[in-house]
Amino acid sequence: MERGTMSKENKENKENKPYYIVQSVERAISIIGLFVRERKPLSIGEVAQGVNLHKSVVHRLLTTMHAHHLLEYLPGIGKYQVGPLAFEFGSIYMNNSLITEGKRFLPELAKEVGEKAHLAILHQGNVLYLVNQESPKSMRMQAPVGFRNHVSSTALGKVLLAWLDEESVVDILQTKGMGAHTSNSITTVDAFLEELKNVRRLGYAVDNEEMELGRRCVAVPVRDHTGEVAAAISVGGRSIVPEKFEETAELVRSYAEAISERLGYVPRPRL
């Protein structure tokens, strides 16, 4: 074959496979995919078998991925697991999905309740607002997206903490403090832990004038595809009174369940 010419077969192969694929990156992605599917620590041999590569190649890839925090090495068992950077990537994706679904459902929720609606996550021990929706009846400006608030005096914060282990909750409370914003604010760890028991029992949380006198909120968890609490949505304002807590919670829950299902959550059948 003359220089500068290409057989028909080679030309077709080149056209069918994108020339810009970087093999090492492709292999690293397949390894991440394996860890996602297996959901457990894996040895070099297990990874090699799972992605059909030689152990020496896998060892170099795992070492590089570990150096960049995509994977963590567990010396006690000689295996690797998903690292913090991979979790950060996952969090970005989840937050984007939450924002998309929040913007889809919260306008109707705010309109139906006649009060502001919020979607928030737990971030570094604070409530972080991702989506805020005004109601046509709202008279005050809402908290801006990206605003951070206390966990102990908000319904959102209570929901976001309620399904964490007690040690983590106590650590957050001791680190962030428990402000006495009103006479109704919960200011002791023991009392707050009791409050979280009620949240788990009822399936929703309330802020009964704990952040601001005359203003109450009701919040419900949003769950991801694993069943874990990924976020919370709430409604709040002066029209929400204790007599309407349960009724309001049921309404908010219907929207939270819709968002959860969009995130891949499969609810358990109610008995």
261: left (phi over 0), alpha (psi -120 to 50) or beta: alpha
DSSP secondary structure letters along 65-110: HHHTTSEEEETTTTEEEE-HHHHHHHHHHHHHHHHHHHHHHHHHHH
Class of domain 8-82: mainly alpha
Is the pLDDT at 41 greater than 60, yes or no?
A: yes
Class of domain 87-262: alpha beta
pLDDT tens digits along 102-122: 999 999 999 999 999 999 999
- pLDDT score for 81: 87
User: What is the average pLDDT across 192-213?
Assistant: 96
Question: Is 182 within 8 Å of 154 (Cβ atoms)?
Answer: no
Q: How high does pLDDT run on average in the chain? A: 86
pLDDT tens digits along 216-256: 999 999 999 889 999 999 999 999 999 999 999 999 999 99
Residue 157 token pair = 């914060």
- pLDDT score for 185: 92
Name the band, by pLDDT with cuts 50, 70 and 90, for residue 140: low
Name the band, by pLDDT with cuts 50, 70 and 90, for residue 151: very high
pTM of the model: 0.67
Question: Is 150 within 8 Å of 157 (Cβ atoms)?
Answer: yes
pLDDT tens digits along 3-16: 444 444 444 444 45
- pLDDT score for 6: 43
Is the pLDDT at 212 greater than 60, yes or no?
A: yes
**Helix then strand then coil, % of the chain, to nearest 5:** 50, 20, 35
* b/e code 193-208 from CB counts within 10 Å (16+ = b): bebbeebeeeebbbbb
Outline which parts of the chain fall under CATH 1.10.10.10: 8-82
Question: Is 142 within 8 Å of 132 (Cβ atoms)?
Answer: yes
Q: Which residue has the higher pLDDT, 87 or 263?
A: 263
Outline which parts of the chain fall under CATH 3.30.450.40: 87-262
Q: Which residue has the higher pLDDT, 123 or 222?
A: 222
Q: Which residue has the higher pLDDT, 2 or 176?
A: 176
